[in-house]
Structure 1
Amino acid sequence: MTKEFDQPVDRKGTASQKWEKYSDSDILPMWVADTDFISPPSVIKALHERIDHGIFGYTNVPTELNELVIERMQNKYDWKVHPDWIVWLPGLVCGLNLACRAVGESGDTIVSAKPIYPPFMSSPRLSDRAVTTVPLKEQDGHYILDLESLAASITPQTKLLLFCNPHNPGGAVYRKEELEALAEIIIQNDLYICSDEIHCDLILEPGLKHIPISSLNEEIASRTITLMAPSKTYNIAGLGCSFAVISDSELRKQFINVRKGIVPDVNLLGYTAAIAAYKEGDEWNQNQLDYLRENRDFLIKEINQIPGLKLNPIEATYLAWIDVSGAKLSNPAHFFEQAGIGMSPGRDFGDANYMRLNFGCTRSTLEEAVKRIKAALINELPA
């Protein structure tokens, strides 16, 4: 294992959202999706240098950052992105909300998968849109959108699909043929798609590759709002720096219009960290991925030996979607908190039979969590 990720960092007393939730109790925080790893040295160095400059005024988008994104999209995905397609945002969730407002009108319908990251459910409603959900289906442990159900759910009022690739939760990486089939449904039904691809640099399964749906062809690209960010990969979510890629000029104009006067620009330290991460952070991330793979493999092996629990393969992300239905728990979130593990309740994602566990932590923390889960469930089971 890579030693730099094995070093515990005390985050207590830092106003950490993740750690403050359970600050007064012996509960391991394994819920919200940020890691307990120190960000890449290149990011920390760049932030120090910018702070030493001493002036923190209003900041334009650095040309270098746009160039790095364009180069990255070309090298990683053979996707040619133009500078004017990129819209910088202070967070990915606001991008979801803007997409819901930019497409269609009040009263229209937005469709999303279920289970899914909670803002996919709230964003349409906050935008005065109805929301329809389509189930994921499991194929050999690979959770993907049920395209037949999606096609059947579309009505004349349906204008937008909110999509997540890699999927949160579940960790699925969509294959090219799956994306092509989805794109065909989008085009045939005159829909738009907002694709959350924030976990694109966290592919754990060897041989799999992230494919932006917008990179397939110009026709689907013209209907796509792609959302990305360095935040999950390099643990810089607190610096608030994300971006949308929108090739269609009218769609981009609508997206920009609905943010005016509401969504602020990215702060200069967010830009600084993003430049350093994209410029010099890839080797660090490869080491992180090695560490996360070992955590994942350990967790899958251990969880699947605990009666009442099941954990399918995790292709991407550092988030485990654990089926707890076999344990017959009336309130799984409370039960595991009582056992000393604070996970995300599956009900928040649309399926109360699951819990989401963040394994972006030191191995010792993960081993302690598994120990507590085992002890709690063994005591719970009848003799």
Structure 2
Amino acid sequence: MPTFDFDSPIDRRSQPGDKWGRYADRDVLPLWVADMDFAAPPAVLDALRRRLEHPVFGYTDAWPSLVDAVVEGIARDHAWRIEPDWLVWLPGVVSGLNLACRAIGEPGDEVFTATPVYPPFLTAPGNSDRRLVTRPLVLIDGRWEWDRASVETALSPRTRLLMLCNPHNPVGRVFDRDELGWLVDLAERHDFTICSDEIHCGLVLDDEVAHTPIAALDDSVARRTITLMAPSKTWNIPALYCAFAIIPDPALRRRFRHEMRGLVPHPNLLGMVAAEAAYRDGGPWRAALLAYLRRNRDAVLIAVASMPGLTMVPPEATYLAWIDCRAAGLADPAKFFEDAGVGLSDGSAFGMPGFVRLNFGCPRTVLAEALGRMQRALEDRQRKGT
């Protein structure tokens, strides 16, 4: 395996950016928003440099070799053979979530999802005058699972769309075939569409766990599914703005495209260049990244186990740790750790207060310092009896 450097910190303070910019001029280590502190893969950087040698950046649609790279990459990595005409190119997955809400049902219809979940899932239905319905995932024997009976009672004749996050952000589950089959059965019995955000599908951490796109289960479910993917999380290129929807059913694809008109811009040209390079040549870098992330995940698990009042379940995918702070007695866990010099995502934004989300996609020295700050802050609080 080629050698890639994930250990050397890269100074991101010198460039504009949300992650480090949030705490400019403050001694706070940002482990919040879901982008990693690693350089993009060499294959991607080389492809971008080559494209920059041509001085014209005109309007551009997806070209055949890009489409082939995506089709071949999904078949290789997820055993799902898609057709090129199923692809609808987008600037981002969040656009896709909102388009799905607009394309399915009518104003006042219901969109179901399970919490905690990536915050745009909670806001997209309201943006299209749909009603959000949620039920929480439940922790059973150290595993986040669907409360199947509760979900059944939440659905109604006006439930027109299920928004699924798989692999799940923030709990890190890779839903198995039994769970996906149960969701498919629900969709068929209640006749609703599925919009599946699978942006983290390239970040499955455990070799014994495989990501299965829900639309790959059979042709019937494929016809009622919008699958959203992007290279942005796996290869750490989110600001290049290139994503795609995979929509096998022609009528559903037409409705989705109809909602894009006049609102959704084309993906970024350089993002498409990067996407082709990532799917075609980014495999060795991804393999090295996953090995590094596994060790980071294990470091977080060990550290959290020694922190008073904190627990977590090992994520099967993503570079995100979902940490339960409820037993620590913290009124505002995110603020508590921010005051201690670690910037984390507040669980309230995901629909589950009392938790924080920690991004361990960073050099190990940075992660160790952040975990040490958290440990010391909790121990100091415990020692003072506050």
What does 1:262-301 correspond to in 2, within 5 Å? 262-301=263-302
Q: Is residue 257 of structure 1 aligned with residue 247 of structure 2? A: no
- Kindly report which structure 2 residues correspond to 1:53-68, keeping only aligned pairs within 5 A, or say none: 53-68=54-69
Partner amino acid, structure 2, of 1:150:
V
1:219 — aligned with what? 220
2:73·2:280 contact (CA, 8 Å) conserved in 1?
no
Conserved 8 A contact 1:62-1:271: no
Residues 184-223 of structure 1 mapped to structure 2, 5 A cutoff: 184-223=185-224
AA matched with 1:102 = A
Aligned to 1:229: 230
Query: Alpha-carbon deviations, 1:320-346, whole Å to 9, x = none?
Result: 000011110111111111000000000
Name which of structure 1's ranges 327-336 and 364-373 shifts more when overlaid on structure 2.
327-336
The number of residue pairs the alignment matches comes to 383
Which residue in 2 is equivalent to 1:347? Answer: 348
Q: Determine the C-alpha separation between the residues in 1 that align with 2:181 and 2:115.
A: 20
Return 71-80 or 8-17, whichever deviates more: 71-80
TM-score by length of 2: 0.97
Amino acid in the other structure paired with 1:255: F
Distance 1:204 1:140 in 2: 20
Question: Paired residue for 2:41?
Answer: 40
For residues 245 and 3 of structure 1, what CA distance do their matches in structure 2 show? 32
2:243 aligned residue: 242
Paired with 1:76 and 1:364, the residues of 2 have a C-alpha distance of 31
Query: By how many angstroms is 1:62 displaced?
Result: 1.4
Residues 166 and 196 of structure 2 are in contact (CA less than 8 Å); yes or no, is this contact kept in structure 1? Answer: yes
The alpha-carbon deviation at position 54 of structure 1 amounts to 1.1
- Give me the whole-angstrom Cα distance separating, in 1, the residues matched to 2:185 and 2:252: 19
Residues 373-382 or 41-50, more deviating? 373-382
Q: Which residue identity is paired with 2:345?
A: S
CA distance in 2, matches of 1:185, 1:157: 14
| Letter in structure 2 aligned against 1:191 | F
Q: Take 1:138 and 1:331, find their aligned partners in 2: how far apart are those partners?
A: 22
Between 148-157 and 211-220, report the one with greater CA deviation. 148-157
User: Which residue matches 2:324?
Assistant: 323
Q: Secondary structure at the match of 1:5?
A: coil
State the shift of 1:141 in Å.
Answer: 2.2
For the residues of structure 2 that align with 1:87 and 1:94, how far apart are their CA atoms? 12
Question: What's the CA shift for 1:68?
Answer: 1.4
Hey, which bits of structure 1, 4+ residues long, moved more than 6 A? none
Q: Secondary structure at the match of 2:322?
A: strand
Alignment of 1:51-90 (within 5 A): 51-90=52-91
The alignment partner of 2:137 has SS state of strand
Question: CA 1:328–1:27 in structure 2 vs 1: closer, same or farther (change >3 Å)?
Answer: same
SS at match of 2:312: coil
1:98 is matched with: 99
User: Would you say the 8 A contact 1:115–1:351 is kept in 2?
Assistant: yes
Contact 1:113/1:136 (<8 A) preserved: yes
CA contact (8 A) 1:147 1:182 kept: no
Distance 1:140 1:218 in 2: 34
User: Are the equivalent residues in 1 in contact too, given 2:332–2:354 (CA < 8 A)?
Assistant: no
Q: CA deviation at 1:148?
A: 2.0
**How far off its partner does 1:72 sit?**
2.0
Provide the rounded CA distance (Å) in 1 between the counterparts of 2:146 and 2:164: 9
1:3 deviates by 5.9
1:71 shift after superposition: 1.4
- After TM superposition, the score normalised by the length of structure 1 is 0.98
Query: 1: distance between equivalents of 2:272 and 2:39?
Result: 18
Structure 2 distance, partners of 1:220, 1:141, is 30
Give the aligned residue type for 2:129. D
